[in-house]
Amino acid sequence: MTEGFSTRTPQQALAALLDHQAAERLLVVGAGQFPALDAYAAAHSGSRISSCAPGPLPADLAGQRFDLAVVIDCLEHLPKREGLQLLGGIRNLNASRIAVLVDLAASGWSDTDFYSLALQANERFERDGQVLTLFTYDLREYKQVPDWLNARFWANPENFGKYWW
């Protein structure tokens, strides 16, 4: 991510992310309505969108798996500890891809709080003095397989695939 601000609006960035991910099962955690999510729901009638208010996930949603979780206008309404538990729980149990749109100043969070959860800063948006940051996490892009992790670098590469211990 560059240090500057994006030329897109947060809604445009969210719409592009939703179109790119093409999630069939979507979890939305937030305090309001969002035009990009409404447009996605209208364009993808086969998608199942579940939503809840900021806070711990309700029991019926906590036991489900989603293709993508979107957290918008949520962390600003929660104590930091509850927000960390919410994002960590969603990442570990409910979705392998997450998008979080947050006002860092209003929430009391910093970039490093998101980095500690393995989220990456993608874009920053500024309007009328308010700065929003879009953080994302994708399990498939989290860690690249190192080139040394193969049979050639094992202690006995000639035995690779021959014996099972």
Alpha carbon 150 to chain centroid distance? 30
What is the pLDDT at residue 1? 52
Q: Is residue 1 part of a domain?
A: no
The residues with which 136 forms a beta bridge, in sequence order, are 99, 120
Q: Is residue 82 part of a domain?
A: yes
Residue 39: give its domain's CATH number: 3.40.50.150
* Full domain range(s) for residue 138: 10-159
Q: Is residue 27 part of a domain?
A: yes
What's the pLDDT tens digit per position in 20-56? 888 889 999 998 788 888 888 888 888 899 999 998 9
> Who contacts 110 (Cβ-Cβ below 8 Å, separation ≥6)?
104
Buried b (16+ CB within 10 A) or exposed e, 124-147: bbeeeeeebbbbbbbeeeeeeeee
Count of domains for the chain: 1
Q: Residue 120 and residue 1: Cα distance in Å, rounded?
A: 9
Q: Residue 11 and residue 30: Cα distance in Å, rounded?
A: 14
Q: Is residue 130 part of a domain?
A: yes
